Amino acid sequence: MNMKKTLWIALLSVGTVSVLSAQEKKQYPQPEPMTPGMSEFWEPQPRIVSPGDEDIPFLAPPSDAIVLLGADDRAADRWQSRGSDAPAPWKVENGVMTVVPHSGDIRTKQEFGDCQLHIEWSTPTEIVGESQGRGNSGVFLQGLYEIQILDNYGNETYANGQSGSIYKQTPPLVNACRKPGCWNSYDIIYTAPRFREDGSVQSHGRVTVLHNGVLVQNNTTILGTTEFIGFPKTIVHGKGPIILQDHHNPIRFRNIWIREL
């Protein structure tokens, strides 16, 4: 074998080893396991602001609104179990829908993007539990981003888990909860996130929330999904449902309507 051919084989062998080495993925340590408390903070507590009337009148939906829960008891036409096509298992009577504890979350059959959402809710008059175990539910925008519902009347919890918070992200500007048993309202203005073709975020979602007429979120950036354990994640998606959470408390809902923007 001549010298030129020997040198070529040697170089080829070195190149093959280099390619194989480059293809071997370097292993890095995995992230430490997380607990729910790692994404909670308790201070500062939102200051308490007393909203207007002790109880709110039924606010009639505007002419272009899609009624999701009204006085006609047609909730079965508009809601279903989350994760299946089964009918929503919650109790509906006289225009009021009540969580049946441990029956599961419910979702709208229709899906939405940018929207204006009005929703009225009431926590149980009988006080049971404390912190997150008292009068807990939530409304999820596009099925991914939770605005917390919680009885925070004389009930402290971690600040970014209080009523009116973007759950585990941004606490409410103030605590505007009414007494247990009274009706509360949320008026939510929501701009959905936009994504580029490569899956990266072009613009984050944003939300403004009025709780009983009091501003608690002011065009706030939604950083990503609202996780119970861990931090926000980016999930590429289009329109999604409104989801109401079964957190094992008999929260009541009424007068839910939405306007597509």
Report the domain count for the chain: 1
- The CATH number that applies at residue 176 is 2.60.120.560
Q: Flag whether 247 is in a domain.
A: yes
Q: Flag whether 209 is in a domain.
A: yes
Write out pLDDT tens, residues 230-252: 999 999 999 999 999 999 999 99
Residue 244 CA to its chain's centroid (Å): 9
Q: What is the mean pLDDT of residues 166-183?
A: 96
Owning domain of residue 217: 108-260
Q: Flag whether 254 is in a domain.
A: yes
- Full-model pTM: 0.85
Q: Flag whether 174 is in a domain.
A: yes
Q: Flag whether 176 is in a domain.
A: yes
Q: Flag whether 21 is in a domain.
A: no
- Does residue 44 have a cis bond before it (omega within 30 degrees)? yes
Q: Flag whether 8 is in a domain.
A: no
Residue 234 CA to its chain's centroid (Å): 13
193-222 b/e (C-beta count within 10 Å ≥ 16 → b): bebeeeeeeeebbbbbbbbbebbbbeebeb
Has residue 21 got a pLDDT over 60?
no
Q: 169 near 222, Cβ under 8 Å?
A: yes
> What percent of the chain is modeled with pLDDT above 70?
89
Across the chain, mean pLDDT equals 89
**Residues 77, 63: Cα–Cα separation, whole Å:** 20
Q: Flag whether 12 is in a domain.
A: no
> What percent of the chain is modeled with pLDDT above 90?
69
Q: How far apart, in Å, do the first and last CA atoms of the chain sit? A: 78
Has residue 138 got a pLDDT over 50?
yes
Total count of residues recorded for the chain: 261
